[in-house]
C-alpha cells in the first residue's frame, strides 16, 4: 500500500473526491495518510479530520527562507512514510528538493486542457475567466505529473467539458470540477500507485 499525502490550500473539494474514492474502494494500492495545508484554518483540514486522516500545516510565512520551508515540507512527508503526493488546489510552488525526492510521484490537477490556460498566474477562477474571455467552446481538466515548471509535467489524464451559453466563471468552475476533476484525480492516483504511470 502506498501512503499518499494530499496538499491543499482551501476548501478541499478535490480532497473530498479523493477521500470518497478511497471510501468506495476505488484504489488498488493507495491510502490517503496525510493532508498538508499551506495555512491554518482552511476547510480542507476539517474534511481530513472528519475522514480520520492525520493533517499538518506547513506555511511558507512561518519560515525565514524558501529553503527552510521546502525542507520542512520534505521532512513532514518523510516522517509520515509518504510514497506519493497529490496537489489538490495547492497554491504554493513545490520545492525542487520535494520534486527530486518524489520524481514522477507527484500529481497535480489543473482546471483546463493543458496547454491552454496554464502556467504562472493561471489558477482557480482565473483559468475559467480566461477560457470564457477567449470564447472557447470546450474546456476541461488535466491531471499531470509535477516537475520544476508550472503545469509542465507529463499529462496523465484529460477530460473535456462543454462551455455553455451564459456560463459565468463560477458556474463553469463547478461543472469542470464535477464532470472532470473529481473523476480524473482519483483515477490518476489509482494509476500512479498501481504502477501504470
Residue 110 designated active-site: yes
Per annotation, catalytic residue among 31, 80, 110, 128: 110
Give 102's pLDDT tier (boundaries 50, 70, 90): very high
- Residue 87 CB neighbour total at 10 angstroms: 23
- Residue 103 CB neighbour total at 10 angstroms: 11
**Which range marks the domain in which residue 64 is found?**
2-193
Domain count for the chain: 1
We report the CATH number of the domain holding residue 113 as 3.40.50.170
Query: pLDDT at position 197, please?
Result: 92
User: Per-residue pLDDT tens for 144-156?
Assistant: 999 999 899 999 9
b/e 66-81 (16+ beta carbons within 10 angstroms → b): eeebbebbbebbeebe
Indicate whether 186 pLDDT > 90.
yes
Amino acid at each position: 500500500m502506498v501512503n499518499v499525502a494530499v496538499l491543499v490550500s482551501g476548501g478541499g473539494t478535490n480532497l473530498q473526491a479523493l477521500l470518497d474514492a478511497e471510501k468506495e474502494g476505488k484504489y488498488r494500492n493507495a491510502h490517503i495518510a496525510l493532508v498538508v495545508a499551506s495555512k491554518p484554518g482552511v476547510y480542507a483540514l476539517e474534511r481530513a479530520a472528519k475522514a480520520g486522516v492525520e493533517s499538518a500545516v506547513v506555511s511558507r510565512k512561518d519560515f525565514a527562507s524558501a529553503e527552510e520551508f521546502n525542507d520542512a515540507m520534505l521532512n513532514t512527508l518523510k516522517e509520515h512514510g509518504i510514497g506519493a503526493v497529490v496537489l489538490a488546489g495547492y497554491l504554493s510552488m513545490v520545492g525542487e528538493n520535494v520534486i527530486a525526492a518524489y520524481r514522477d510521484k507527484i500529481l497535480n490537477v489543473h482546471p483546463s486542457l493543458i496547454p491552454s490556460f496554464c502556467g504562472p498566474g493561471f489558477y482557480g477562477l482565473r483559468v475559467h475567466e480566461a477560457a470564457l474571455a477567449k470564447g472557447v467552446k470546450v474546456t476541461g481538466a488535466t491531471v499531470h505529473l509535477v516537475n520544476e515548471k508550472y503545469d509542465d509535467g507529463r499529462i496523465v489524464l484529460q477530460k473535456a467539458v462543454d462551455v455553455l451559453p451564459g456560463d459565468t466563471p463560477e458556474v463553469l468552475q463547478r461543472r469542470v470540477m464535477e464532470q472532470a476533476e473529481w473523476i480524473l484525480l482519483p483515477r490518476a492516483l489509482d494509476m500512479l500507485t498501481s504502477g501504470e504511470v
